[in-house]
Structure 1
Amino acid sequence: MTAKLSRIQYLNRHKEVGSANWRAAQLKIAKLHRKIANLRKDALHKLITYLAKNHGIVVIEDLNLRGMFRCAT
């Protein structure tokens, strides 16, 4: 999907801003952005649903990675 998006954006860069072809390309880009966002949202929803159904307790931790790496060196 992202390769297709970058290709459409690349082709749109040479079109005259405001022209009919530019508007059509902008619509294609917007549709592809929406499709990618929906795919990501769906995958996240499926993962969360799986975790909630199959595990009694789910724990989320906020790690201070900079501090951890500073101590490691």
Structure 2
Amino acid sequence: KSVTVDDVTPVLQELVSKAVAEIPVPKDGKDFDPATLKQAVELAVSEAVAAIPAPQDGKSVTVDDVQPMIQEQSTTSSR
């Protein structure tokens, strides 16, 4: 026997209703604490910035450093 839309609709409705019922209700219309969000963003940004290597005096990128990347890109682009 084939299953019809009418057969699965009640099951799907029950599953969706249960899932929606598990979503926490916001308190006083407040979904998040702006101070907590600000702190999380500041931490993420500071960690990302700290991961950037500091420049070194007298050391720069040379043609020899960049050439393999350019060759790889030109080979990949021409495929």
Question: Shorter-chain-normalised TM-score: which range?
Answer: 0.3 to 0.5
Higher RCO, Cα 8 Å, sep 6+: 1
TM-score scaled by length of structure 1: 0.41
TM-score norm. by structure 2 comes to: 0.39
- Whichever structure has more helix as a proportion of its residues is 1
